[in-house]
């Protein structure tokens, strides 16, 4: 067997460390004990309307994961204290990351600096809808 095809390194090596796993387990224990729902439910961004987590070994959309309140892509610590991690569904956390990445790319295309705090305020106030005076971006093309 050829060895030229190796498994690529993890994009975030901090996630495999004991400190990260301990922080994640602490958040999981807190969520199990208190019944804490998906963090995105309080903002109307939960893809499952606050449905309970799938605590099994699966990596499905309802499975438990932790969300970094201060996103790593915005300069947050990859291994924060457990008070800066919140429970979320895997699907909700992935959707949030995609929205943030798209907002960053859109700002770059417009030649504007990306301000994650400003973006969060706009989304919270408008529920993700454009406010009057804001340009509307087409998300699909007419073919």
Q: Tell me: the pLDDT tens digits for 76-114?
A: 788 878 888 999 999 999 988 888 888 888 888 888 888
Identify whether the C-beta of residue 114 lies closer than 8 Å to the C-beta of residue 107: yes
Predicted TM-score of the model (pTM): 0.70
Identify whether the C-beta of residue 76 lies closer than 8 Å to the C-beta of residue 70: yes
The whole-number pLDDT of residue 101 equals 86
Query: Distance between alpha carbon 136 and the CA centroid of its chain, in Å?
Result: 24
Q: In this structure, what token pair is assigned to residue 130?
A: 């454009």
* Percent of all residues in the chain with a pLDDT value above 90, rounded to a whole number: 27
pLDDT tier for residue 119 given thresholds of 50, 70 and 90: low
Helix (H) or strand (E) holding 64: strand 64-68
pLDDT tier for residue 139 given thresholds of 50, 70 and 90: low
Residue with tokens 């498994």: 7
C-alpha–C-alpha distance, residues 14 and 12, integer Å = 5
Identify whether the C-beta of residue 62 lies closer than 8 Å to the C-beta of residue 54: yes
- Beta strand pairing status for 64-68 and 85-89? antiparallel
């Amino acid at each position: 067997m050829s060895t030229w095809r190796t498994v690529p390194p993890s994009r975030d090596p901090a996630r495999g460390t004991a400190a990260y796993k301990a922080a994640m387990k602490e958040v999981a224990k807190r969520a199990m004990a208190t019944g804490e729902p998906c963090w995105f439910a309080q903002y109307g961004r939960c893809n499952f309307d606050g449905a309970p987590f799938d605590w099994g070994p699966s990596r499905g959309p309802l499975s438990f994961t932790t969300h970094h309140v201060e996103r790593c892509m915005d300069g947050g610590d990859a291994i924060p204290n457990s008070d800066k991690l919140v429970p979320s569904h895997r699907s909700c956390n992935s959707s949030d990351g995609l929205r943030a990445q798209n907002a960053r790319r859109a700002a770059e295309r417009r030649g504007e600096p990306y301000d994650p705090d400003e973006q969060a305020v706009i989304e919270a106030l408008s529920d993700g809808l454009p406010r009057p005076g804001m340009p509307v971006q087409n998300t699909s093309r007419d073919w």
